[in-house]
Each structure stands twice: as C-alpha cells, then as structure tokens.
Amino acid sequence: MSDISILRDLGPLEIQKYQQNRFPCFFVDAIEEAIPGKSARGFKNFTYNEWFFPAHFEDEPVVPGFILIETLTQVFLMTFLTKPENKGKKTGFLSVKNANFKQKVISGKRLDIVAELDSYSRGIAKGKSTGFINGEVVCQVELVVAVPDTLNLYLPK
C-alpha cells in the first residue's frame, strides 16, 4: 500500500495553502488531482474581466504568453509543493525552456493543464506542463523550479 495521499478537487483557498501565489498573480481555478511527487491536473477559466485583457489587444482579447507560462507553472508547482516537507514554501524559476504556443487562448476558454514531475532532488524540481482546450494541446513548457529553503541546505558554506 502506498503512503502517498492523492489530493482531489482543491479550490483556490486550498491551493494557496500549498503555494504562495496570490491575486493578481494567482491563475489556477482548481486542482482536480495532485499526486505528490508525481503529477497534477488543474484548470483556469479565462474570462473577459481578467485584469490583463483590456491592455492586451483590445480588439482581440488574447491571453499573454507570460500569463500562460505562469498558469502552467502554478499547476506544475502542485506536483512537489504537495509533498508535506514543501507545503507553503516559496519557489523560484531556474529555467523555462521550450515554451510552445500552438494557438491563441482567448477569453471565454477553459485551459485544462496536466503537469508531470520528472525529478525532484535537493530543492530542485524538473518537469513539464501542458495546456489543452477541448482536448487539443495549445501550449506547453519545460520547467526547472527551485525551493530556495531546501536548496540552500545543500549549497557549500
């Protein structure tokens, strides 16, 4: 029997117990499933009243690429911040690679996100996150994210 507890149906308040992102930079509506140390699945509904739409192509409200990367990342964070020793800790980007945007994400769309943790060691998480609309891949990114509190324990003195 496994000692890993699968987390299901986490809303914004529960998600914020695990990660430190807050409005206006909190971009996940729900985590449908998180398997600590392995994967996470969540979504974001982009509505026209998002703070960034009026300034980003008024005639064609498109989600900016940096918002998509941050949204994908916030689901990815749930793959390792759900481990008990990481709950609520700060994180920081080390690397964002191979970000691909295959089609525009516009207001009124739900972005479903699947994140996979390839490795986690000494406060460094590596993996990828993929966004889907209606089952079709629209964006993806490879990430390396640090948990500074843990990473600092392994740095030379």
The answer to whether residue 1 sits within a structural domain is no
In a domain, 2, yes or no: no
What is the average pLDDT across 99-104? 95
In a domain, 64, yes or no: yes
Look at residue 32 and tell me if it is in a domain. yes
Domain count, the chain: 1
- Does residue 115 contact residue 135 with C-beta atoms inside 8 Å? no
22: which 2 tokens? 């807050």
63 within some domain: yes
What tens digit of pLDDT does each residue of 2-60 get?
Answer: 557 999 999 999 999 999 999 889 999 999 999 999 999 999 999 888 877 766 666 77
Catalytic machinery residues: 56
Residue 121 domain-assigned? yes
Q: Say if 148 falls within a structural domain.
A: yes
- Please tell me the predicted confidence (pLDDT) of residue 1: 41
Tracing tokens 């740095």 back to the chain, one arrives at 155
What global pTM score does this model have?
A: 0.93
Answer yes or no: is 149 within a domain: yes
76 phi and psi, to 5 degrees?
-60, -40
Q: Tally Cβ neighbours within 10 Å of residue 136.
A: 9
Length of the chain: 157
Mean pLDDT across the chain, nearest whole number? 93
The full DSSP string for 45-96 is EE-TTSTTTTTS-TTS-B--HHHHHHHHHHHHHTTTTTSGGGTT---EEEEE
Q: Which domain holds residue 122?
A: 7-154
What CATH number is attached to the domain comprising 17?
3.10.129.10
